[in-house]
Amino acid sequence: MYPQKKYKFRMKKNFLALSVLLSLSLSIYAQDLNNPIMTAVPSLSIAPDARAGAMGDVGVATTPDANSQYWNPAKYAFMDSEAGLSLSYTPWLRQLVTDIDLAYLSGYYKLDQRQAVSASLRYFSLGDITLMNELGYPEASAHPNEFAVDAAYSRLFSDKFSGSVAFRLIYSDLNNGINLSGGTEMYPGIAFAADVSAFYKTPITLQNTDGNLSLGLNISNIGSKISYDNYETSNFIPTNMRLGASFDYPLDNFNKISVSADVNKLLVPTTSSAKLLANPNYYNDLSPVAGIFQSFSDAPGGMSEELREIMWSIGAEYAYNNQFFVRGGYYNEDQYKGNRKYFTAGAGFKLNVFQLDVGYVISTSQSNPLDQTLRFSLSFDLFGLKNLVK
């Protein structure tokens, strides 16, 4: 179960226990767990922006916006505006605690009609944690936090197809340099990762009206493992493959609807008790690349369990005059792999050079701490703003 506002840890072994706790608290909460996939830095899997958050956490193939850096940077090559910026804020797990939140800043700049560069900064705060010594007495308090900074280059290869590569630095500090007496020393964890993404967009004519079909792929966080004990042990970061499709259809000159769907799979090995019994250091010694390939066929339950590891989501958006937006969606994760199941809803308002979006989570699984999660995003068209102030 997710801990309350004051956390209690005994720093006796290594990072493994803390990693498991954070994974459970952020992404693996359920009443009946079978064999969920656990990773370090699970905050990297949190959808940061309100638009996608209101559409069931879909975004790899939706129409490009300033927050495409997280979902699919290849979309930036299709942006109409030359430059944009977005700031998002998520007060996380408000049903349980009041001091966990995520802040996200992203932006892009088009070098010409075919190329774009982009970047983002993500900061995740885990609030205040009380650290306990071996005797169970409070000894210190820490303010754990994680951040990631990345940059991407996107390019059109044709009028319909684009690709992108991104590079990321990940920093995770779970105890602020505080090491308890008699405990194993912990250090901030550092990892490097890359994303590879693609985006395809083509017009489709239905009833004499042109809609747009989009397809997207993003393989994110391909990179090194992370360690908190000077590499005595190491942990996988959440390498993820996301595939999606979206269809935009204008009802008339003022009204437009879009329907989108994403599927996700963590490219991280599934824990096997048999492998751990045979070699307790099996996962610690496994390389990130080997882990990616192994993730498609290593579930102890065979193909049926592999299929359970696929998460899916659907979302829809209605736009009036490209100024007012109403959104909804649904996210599904198997009950034995995390049991995150929730509806989402939200709205947006666009006026000249800025856009305000809000997203809200309504959980359908009992006692899910994601329930009533709220996101806010404020985006700016920097090129339009420049023209206004001339």
Q: Are 312 and 329 in contact (CB under 8 A)?
A: no
Lowest mean pLDDT segment, chosen from 142-151, 158-167, 240-249? 142-151
Q: How confident is the model at residue 200 (pLDDT cuts 50, 70, 90)?
A: very high
pTM over 0.75: yes
Give the residue ranges of DSSP H helices in 28-73.
50-53, 68-71
Across residues 254-279, what is the average pLDDT? Answer: 93
Across residues 248-267, what is the average pLDDT? Answer: 95
Across residues 262-278, what is the average pLDDT? Answer: 92
Strand order in the sheet with 138-142: 8-10, 129-132, 138-142
SS3 106: strand
CA 218 to CA 196: how far, in whole Å? 6
Return the number of other C-beta atoms located less than 10 Å from residue 203's C-beta.
10
Give the pLDDT score at 155: 98
Q: Are 82 and 42 in contact (CB under 8 A)?
A: no
Q: Are 336 and 52 in contact (CB under 8 A)?
A: no
What does the domain layout of the chain look like in residue ranges?
A: 8-388
For residues 208 and 327, the model is more confident at 327
Structure tokens at 58: 């879909």
Across residues 272-292, what is the average pLDDT? Answer: 90
Structure tokens at 105: 């800043």
pLDDT tens, 58-71? 999 999 999 999 99
Q: Are 288 and 225 in contact (CB under 8 A)?
A: yes
Task: Provide the residue count of the chain.
Answer: 390
Question: In 3D, which of 42, 13, 177, 184 has the Cα closest to residue 100?
Answer: 42
Give the pLDDT score at 389: 60
pLDDT surpassing 80 at residue 14: no
DSSP-derived letter for residue 40 is: S
Across residues 77-102, what is the average pLDDT? Answer: 89
For residues 370 and 43, the model is more confident at 43
Which is the CATH superfamily of the domain at 8-388?
monomeric porin ompg (2.40.160.40)
Across residues 268-275, what is the average pLDDT? Answer: 90
Give the pLDDT score at 133: 67
Give the pLDDT score at 367: 61
Give the pLDDT score at 167: 98
Return the number of other C-beta atoms located less than 10 Å from residue 334's C-beta.
19
Lowest mean pLDDT segment, chosen from 29-38, 229-238, 244-253? 29-38
pLDDT tens, 111-159? 999 999 999 999 999 888 877 766 677 777 778 899 999 999 999 999 9
Give the pLDDT score at 180: 60
Give the pLDDT score at 239: 97
